[in-house]
Structure 1
């Protein structure tokens, strides 16, 4: 697939179909993503893909946690407790207004998909050692973006979601991720349910004016 096409097709998929993702394809994507750059070639990332029966059990228990309103306890800082600076706070505020308008009668559909881990047939959990410099978080982001672009290039759809790593202890129960690894992010992958109302229309959030994020100094 042409790179420009791959890049432009990267969109969050809110509900996946039941179509299975081939295990070998997942392995191929992760192996290729290993070419991502990292500080001093540290390659701090690890990837844990969960599918099939194990994923069904995780989804079921995760949904029960949500129903019981079990407090989230991410390995990374809890998103909503972060003291954001003014610039990203304003962007998020604008995003919130747009999302409310976009979802209008789809709010319940989105919550249902979110509570069911987007019905994904496969989820890739990404970790770095808890004893890592801040640079490793940057490296993990590069690795995650590589995975998503490679997946799209192979005809898959993706959903990177904070909600997927809300309960790390539960994730460890089904993936055996060691306690000394921080579960930083997860990417749901599969094939979009094209009949799902929550996936349509495609919402493309606006971008900050270019001159607010770029300076050319000579």
Structure 2
């Protein structure tokens, strides 16, 4: 697939079908993503893929916690500031209004998708050592983007989501991730459920005006 096409197809998939992916292909995608750059070639990342019975059990417990409104306790919240700048806060506010407009106040579609972990048949959990400089967070983001673009090139849909890492103790329970690793982010993988309203093609959040994020200095 042409790179421009791959990049254009990168969209959050909020509901997946039950169709399986060749697990060897997932491994090959992650192996290829290892070519991503990192500070001083530190390559701080690790990837854990969960599926099948283990994921079903994790999904069930995760849903119970969400429905009970148990507060999230992400690993990164203990490592990094969770305060947002005014600029970022305004963008998130606009996103919320956009969702409400296009779904005609049916935000429960998004809530249901979140608590069911988007029905993703595979989830990749990405970690870095808890003892890491902030550069490693940047490196992890590059690694994650590489994984997603490579997956899309193979016709696989993706969903990077904060909600997937809300309860790290549950994740460790089913993946065996060590306590000295910070579970930084997760990516749902699978094939998009084309019939799901929450995946409607008209729902593409707006981007900040280019001149607000770009400046050329000579």
Taking structure 1 as the reference length, the TM-score comes to: 0.95
Q: Could you say which residue in structure 1 is the equivalent of 2:17?
A: 17
Q: CA deviation at 1:105?
A: 4.8
Instruction: Encode CA deviations 1:122-144: one digit per residue, 9 max, x unaligned.
Output: 00000000000000000000000
2:46/2:127 contact within 8 Å kept: yes
1:106/1:198 contact within 8 Å kept: no
Q: CA deviation at 1:107?
A: 1.8
Q: Does 1:54 align with 2:66?
A: no
Q: CA deviation at 1:209?
A: 1.6
Q: How do 1:6-155 and structure 2 match up within 5 A?
A: 6-77=6-77, 82-155=82-155
Q: Which moved more, 1:52-61 or 1:192-201?
A: 192-201
* Structure 2 alignment gaps of length 5 or more: none
Q: CA deviation at 1:98?
A: 1.1
Instruction: Give the Cα separation in 1 of the matches to 2:103 and 2:185.
Output: 24
Q: How do 1:161-176 and structure 2 match up within 5 A?
A: 161-176=161-176
* Structure 1 alignment gaps of length 5 or more: none
Instruction: Give the Cα separation in 2 of the matches to 1:84 and 1:105.
Output: 26
Aligned with 2:158: secondary structure? strand
Q: CA deviation at 1:103?
A: 2.3
Q: Could you say which residue in structure 2 is the equivalent of 1:217?
A: 217
Q: Which moved more, 1:201-210 or 1:41-50?
A: 201-210
Q: Which moved more, 1:105-114 or 1:16-25?
A: 105-114
| Paired residue total | 216
Taking structure 2 as the reference length, the TM-score comes to: 0.95
Instruction: Encode CA deviations 1:154-194: one digit per residue, 9 max, x unaligned.
Output: 00000000000000000000000000000010000000011
Aligned with 1:10: secondary structure? coil
What's the Cα RMSD here? 1.3
Q: Could you say which residue in structure 1 is the equivalent of 2:159?
A: 159
